[in-house]
Each structure stands twice: as structure tokens, then as C-alpha cells.
Amino acid sequence: MKRYKRSDDISYALGITLTFELLINRPDQARRVYVHSDFERGETFDKLSSLCSANKVEIVFSDKPFNILSQKENCYVIGEFSKKYMALDKNASHIVLNNPSNAGNLGTIMRSAAGFGIVNLAIIRPAADPFDPKTVRSSMGSIFRLNIEEFDSFDEYMGKAGQRNIYPFMLKAKKKLNETEFVKPFSLVFGNEATGLDDSFLSVGTSVIIAHSDRIDSLNLPIAASIAMYEATKSSDF
Amino acid sequence: MKRYKRSDDISYALGITLTFELLINRPDQARRVYVHSDFERGETFDKLSSLCSANKVEIVFSDKPFNILSQKENCYVIGEFSKKYMALDKNASHIVLNNPSNAGNLGTIMRSAAGFGIVNLAIIRPAADPFDPKTVRSSMGSIFRLNIEEFDSFDEYMGKAGQRNIYPFMLKAKKKLNETEFVKPFSLVFGNEATGLDDSFLSVGTSVIIAHSDRIDSLNLPIAASIAMYEATKSSDF
């Protein structure tokens, strides 16, 4: 067992909460569950055991993986899983992240996307690793509820995404978010944390700005993406 | 020079961008600017020098503080500043954070607050340190554009905050965010990352929920606070 590397076929859900999300939502991807000797026997352990046995997932009792994979003190369970990309649903709305660079941000966006019911996520490379254990953690396990597909370019995405309405979010856009009507299926497109989307996106679909005061240069990426998802799904009956 | 401690009277803006925010918005709080020997002479350095001399802030050329205060590779300037709480404006709208526990989250919320023009931030103790260099960093310097005041209890806050409309954000609330009318001056109140606001807040003002699917337990705190600020300031002409 070694530290996680992006080139690995497997990754890890660190902690009991994330491991439950894995076993409940993607049992087919679960390969193995590691349990630390300090993990108390009780209801939670019983629930974990029965989920594992129902899904034929081996439980390994060993402290070693925790020393290698987890920096956190209170991590007593690790779910090892196979990474899996899934084709996006052409009829559904999408979030499209163009070159996101931060694994934590990627996870935070996944959590909001699951929250607002946009369960198809396109990632345009180069990009942070959606399966990095840090991403899994900051997604709070939402990663196991999303279809995630990577593309080499926005054009490749457009070629495969099906007929839809594109809304790139950019500071140079004219249309304000609260004056925008989102027609389904839609794609909300966001650029890199530092550089945003380049000007070529001004001529793609309807570009949108989240208006803010000039006290800041821009909103944080997961914040901007989440505000956009909130507004675009407002009519949903959650 | 030692590592930053919460009990210190001073804190640090790590990096040139944050140091500029300090010098431009709160020159009275700036005590000293450290410059690393690898920091290139040029326009940026000249701007820094003239800002420092205009505000009578000493520049110290030394690499030592960087070894102690900064883990980041690309930090060549550090602004040392006096911490300063400021009484909140009783006539303005506020953000109220009840026991926030994460310094990075606190900074992200500051950035959004500055962005949406809510420049008065109340923090109810116990809470993460608003002047932690991590908070300063994640605020992207917005901390120097806000009035920040700490209180020992929500009651103490209410006693000092002036007449206003209170909107506690909680999962048990009945009123949905997109059906809520925010009457100024308002206070948007948020609980701790893990526990939220306790039930006693259901009887305070108008409690509000940001409706989301049951795929997630809750939204991330800075995300929820930012969506609320976006919605509550929508009529503003940014």
C-alpha cells in the first residue's frame, strides 16, 4: 500500500461518513474497507459490516493504511474504491468546469451540485483530480451521487453533450444572473479559479455575470458556481 | 519573531496582494512590511515602497520572517498589522456567525460579504479566529474592508445591534429563501459548520431555509451564507 497517486485506478473515501456514502450509492465501485483497531464496536460498526457483507466487500482489519493514507486523527474507516467516469446524461442539465485547479474546490462544487440536483459534472482538462481523496472529502461523499466525465476540450464536450442551452459565467458578461432565465437542459460553465473563462466564451450561448461590488475582484469559484446553481434550479421543488 | 498565536495583538497578511489590501484600506493598522531577498525590484516593488513611505510604514528586508510565518513557496512580502475590532454600524445590514469553527470558511465568508456589500460582520464566541493569517488569506484581503466585532452571546449582539430584522438560516425553517423578502437593515444569522443554529432560533425573527435535494445533509457554510447574501442584496445596483 502506497500514498494515493492520480495515475492509480483506485482511490479512498477517508472516514466512516464517506465510506457509507460509497457503500450505499456506489457499492459496485467499493473494493475493500479498512477498519482501524481503535474503531469501536457498536451500531455503526454493525451497519458497516452488514453493508459490506450485503455487497460482498471485504473488511480488512489493519492500522497500516491509516498511517499511509490519512493525516486526520479521527479517521478509523477507509473505503477503497475503483475510480469510474460515467457518460453524462444528454437530456439533463450539467455543470461544466473548465480547468479547475483546486481539488478541495472541486469537491465543494460536487456537494452543491448534488444539493441542487444537477448530478452531471463535466470537467475539461487540464484539471484537478476529481477522485483525489481531498476532493472526495470536501464533496462530503456527494461524488458518489454524480456522473462525472472528463473532456480534453470544451469543443469535445459540446460534441458529446447533446442539444442544450449554454450559460458561461464570466466577469465580462452583460447579462446579470438575477435577470437570466435558464432554459433546460442547460449547462452552467465556469472557468479556472485564477483566470476564469477566456473571452472566446462571450460568444457561446448566453454569458452571465454574478454582479458584485468592486470591493472584491471576483467571488470564490465554488461560491460563484453554487449561487448560479441555486438561481438556475430555483423553480425546482426540493 | 514567533509563529502567529491567537493571543497576539498582531497578525500577518501573507503575500503582496494581501499586503496591498492592508496598506490601501487600513494603513493605520499596518505596522511593518517584510520583504524577501528574492522579491524582484520593479513596478510592484516601487508601488509597495511608495505606499509604505506615504503611510510611514517601515520596510524590513529580511528572509527570516518568511521561514517562520509562511509555508507557501511564492510568498515574498508580509504585512504585519495590529488586530482591530470595530463597532458595527447599527443602521447597516449585518452577517452574524454563531460559533463558526473554521478559519478558512470565515475568510471565504468575508470575501463574499465584501462582494455583496454587507461590510459588518458579527462573530459570536466561541469561534475561529478572524485574524488568523489563514482567515486573512482566504478572505483575499476583504478582511480589511469589513467592520468585525465579537460578542459573547447572541443576546449580547442583539442588545448592541440596534433595531433590525433578523433572519436565522436553519434546516428546520419553514420559509424558503427564494420566497423571503429581506427588509433592511437585516441580519443574516448562520450557525456552526457541524451543528447549525439550535432550535431556539426558530422563534427569532424570520427563520429561512435554502431548500435543497435530500442527496446532501446540508450545504457548506460559506456556500449557504453566500447564497443568502446574494439573494438578500439582489436589488442592489452593483
Strand partners, B193: none
| B174 touching A (Cβ < 8 Å) | no
ipTM: 0.96
Helix (H/G/I), strand (E/B), else coil: B223: helix
Q: How far apart are CA A111 and CA B219, in angstroms?
A: 7
Is A186 in contact with A93 (CB distance < 8 Å)? yes
Any residues with CB less than 8 A from the CB of B16 and at least 6 apart, and which? B44, B48, B76, B77
The answer to whether the CB atoms of A216 and B178 lie below 8 A apart is no
The answer to whether the CB atoms of B108 and A223 lie below 8 A apart is yes
Mean pLDDT of A173-185: 96
The answer to whether the CB atoms of B111 and A219 lie below 8 A apart is yes
Report pLDDT for B135: 98
Mean pLDDT of A88-113: 98
Q: Which residue in chain A is spatially nearest to B112 when comparing CA positions? A: A219
The answer to whether the CB atoms of A140 and B216 lie below 8 A apart is yes
- B contacts of A115 (beta carbons < 8 Å): 212-213, 215-216, 219
Nearest-CA distance A138 → chain B (Å):
9
| B15 touching A (Cβ < 8 Å) | no
C-alpha A59, offset from chain centre: 26
A73 has pLDDT over 80: no
B238 has pLDDT over 90: no
Residue-range domains of chain B with CATH: 10-82 (3.30.1330.30), 94-232 (3.40.1280.10)
Summarised one tens digit per residue, pLDDT across range B59-118 is: 999 999 999 998 777 899 999 999 999 999 999 999 999 999 999 999 999 999 999 999
| A204 touching B (Cβ < 8 Å) | no
A72 has pLDDT over 80: no
Mean pLDDT of A137-143: 97
| A116 touching B (Cβ < 8 Å) | yes
A229 has pLDDT over 90: yes
The answer to whether the CB atoms of B223 and A140 lie below 8 A apart is no
pLDDT band at A71 (very low <50, low <70, confident <90, very high): confident
Any residues with CB less than 8 A from the CB of B169 and at least 6 apart, and which? B188, B189, B190, B191, B197, B207, B208, B209, B210, B224, B225, B228
Nearest 5°: phi and psi at A169?
-100, 120
The answer to whether the CB atoms of B223 and A223 lie below 8 A apart is yes
- B contacts of A215 (beta carbons < 8 Å): 114-115, 117, 119, 142, 145
Q: Which residue in chain A is spatially nearest to B230 when comparing CA positions? A: A227
- B contacts of A231 (beta carbons < 8 Å): 230
- B contacts of A25 (beta carbons < 8 Å): none
What average pLDDT does chain B have?
Answer: 97
What average pLDDT does chain A have?
Answer: 97
CA–CA–CA angle B91, B228, B202 (5° rounding)? 80
| A174 touching B (Cβ < 8 Å) | no
Mean pLDDT of A9-16: 97
Report pLDDT for A26: 98
Q: How far apart are CA B222 and CA B189, in angstroms?
A: 12
Angle at which helix B43-54 crosses helix B16-25, to 10 degrees, equals 30
The answer to whether the CB atoms of B111 and A217 lie below 8 A apart is no
Nearest-CA distance A135 → chain B (Å):
14
B19 has pLDDT over 80: yes
Is B76 in contact with B67 (CB distance < 8 Å)? no
| B217 touching A (Cβ < 8 Å) | yes
Report pLDDT for B74: 86
Mean pLDDT of B155-169: 98
| B24 touching A (Cβ < 8 Å) | no
Report pLDDT for A100: 98
Residue type, A167: Y
Mutate: best of A118, A121, A216, A217, partner B, most B CBs <10 A: A216
- A contacts of B217 (beta carbons < 8 Å): 140
| A61 touching B (Cβ < 8 Å) | no
pLDDT band at A74 (very low <50, low <70, confident <90, very high): confident
Report pLDDT for B172: 97
pLDDT band at A238 (very low <50, low <70, confident <90, very high): confident
